[in-house]
Amino acid sequence: MSKFVGLDLGTNMLITGISEDGGDSIFKNQRDCFYKIKPKTKVNKSSIKMSLDKRKVNYIEDEDGSFVIIGQDSLDIAIERNDVVERPMVKGVISPKEKASLPILKLIIKSLIGEGKEGDKCVFSIPSAPIDGNFDIIYHKEMLGLYLKQMGFETTPINEAFAVALSELIDSGLTGGIVTYGAGLCNMAIIHEGDPILQFSLQKAGDYVDEAVGKALDISPSLVQTEKEAGTDLYSPSTIIMKAVSVYYRSVLNYTIKTIAHELKVRKKELPLFREPMPIVLAGGLTLAKGFVQMFNEALKTTDFPIEIGKVMRAEDPLRATAKGALLAAMM
């Protein structure tokens, strides 16, 4: 019995779709973050361990004696301590500054998909290189591919936006635009009859909103993230935090849409001739906010696009769309 895995390696959340021998798909997710507590004394270490165990927190003990709390538990405890979590990934790729990044990322991945065996396949998402940044994705792609192979899987990377196209654009002949708004990056792709013509990313996304609101209101970005995920209504914000969130959502949309339009104009000769207006599918955690599609359309109307735009729609399941597309690719 072969196992097929689609793995969405998000900056904020890891999401997997798993199918055994082409059967029903099972989706799982885990927060992609951790929080360290370093004991002051041996007694303090014992008391912290006792408390974490009683709370049934998911943690590991680091070689320096620290407790490394993983996933949702880390976010909860960081907020309680008026602090922020660390992430093994930054801007869609493995963090180069945190030495614990890769081991922790490995631990989270293993908890979601387990070990593989001969014939098991895993397709994992990678972002496009950003056009407004100077880092690449080679180290990220190669290290994760190597680790997944060590776990026993046949591996293939897939561009995040293209994975969403496989999930959402089958009925449109795999033709259209994909824009994903995650935590670290906004990924964009133009797909024409199943062929990804253009793929790139931008660095303003969910983390930018959390950090900007946190700075403006002098609160923890982790608290902003939690408030935002509890339910965001962009046109009827109920609190000061939500009003600020709405302001920075609009800032992100204005920036990304205008930058995408500019990039398409610069690379117009690379664009195909669409027989019909190009549909756009939106995916990612930010798109869950009520009013997101409306706000996207408003920003779109004020922008001169070199392509005629058709219907703008949100993915059927914005959080799982990348994992679903990666799973479909694994089963092909």
Using pLDDT thresholds of 50, 70 and 90, give the confidence band for residue 100: low
**Domain with 97 in it:** 3-30+89-164+321-331
Q: Has residue 243 been placed in a domain?
A: yes
The total of structural domains in the chain comes to 3
Q: pLDDT, tens digit, for every residue of 220-233?
A: 888 898 899 889 99
At residue 111, the pLDDT reads: 83
pLDDT surpassing 70 at residue 96 = no
**15 and 160 inside one domain:** yes
Q: Residue 244 is part of a domain; what is its CATH number?
A: 3.30.420.40
Report which of 258, 179, 252 is spatially closest to residue 211, judged by C-alpha positions: 252
- Strand pairing partners for 187? 180, 201
**Residue 322's pLDDT is what?**
97
What residues have CB less than 8 Å from 207, skipping those under 6 apart?
11, 12, 91, 183, 184, 221
113 and 248 inside one domain: no
- pLDDT value at residue 136: 74
Please indicate, yes or no, if residue 155 is contained in any of the structural domains.
yes
Q: What is the mean pLDDT of residues 178-190?
A: 94
Q: Does residue 4 surpass a pLDDT of 90?
A: yes
- Determine the Cα–Cα distance for residues 293 and 300; give it in Å rounded to an integer: 10
Is residue 84 a part of any domain in this protein? no
Mean pLDDT of the chain: 91
> Is residue 135 scored above 80 in pLDDT?
no
Report residue 139's pLDDT band, with 50, 70 and 90 as the boundaries.
confident
- Same domain, residue pair 140 and 263: no
Residues 221 and 305 in one domain: yes
Nearest in space to 10 (alpha carbons), one of 283, 234, 257: 283
Instruction: For residue 308, give every residue at least 6 positions away whose Cβ sits within 8 Å of its Cβ, in sequence order, or none.
Output: 274, 277, 278
Q: Distances from the Cα of 37 to the Cαs of 14, 33, 83, 219, in angstroms?
A: 23, 14, 11, 21
Helix (H) or strand (E) holding 66: none
Q: What is the DSSP string of 248-292?
A: HHHHHHHHHHHHHHHHHHHTGGGS---SSPEEEEEESGGGGSBTH
261 lies in some domain: yes
Higher pLDDT, 244 or 71: 244
For residue 99, what pLDDT is reported? 62
Q: What is the pLDDT of residue 159?
A: 96
Question: Does the pLDDT value for residue 300 go beyond 90?
Answer: yes
Total residues found in the chain within this entry: 332
CA distance 231 to 132: 30
Same domain? 58 vs 132: no
In the chain, the percentage of residues whose pLDDT exceeds 70 is 98
Among candidate residues 12, 42, 70, the one where a domain is terminated: 70
* Amino acid 89: pLDDT: 80
Residues 201 and 259 in one domain: yes
The pLDDT of residue 137 is: 84
- Report pLDDT for 145: 92
Least confident of 21-25, 147-151, 249-253, 290-294: 21-25
User: Other CB atoms closer than 10 Å to residue 278's CB: what's the count?
Assistant: 21
Mean local confidence (pLDDT), 283-289: 95
Q: Which of 47-61, 74-88, 188-202 has the highest mean pLDDT?
A: 188-202
**CA–CA separation, 321 vs 283, rounded Å?**
7
pLDDT tens digits for range 246-268? 999 999 999 999 999 999 999 98
pLDDT at 120 over 80: yes
Lowest mean pLDDT among 2-6, 107-111, 318-322: 107-111
**Model pLDDT, residue 90:** 78
**pLDDT of 97:** 65
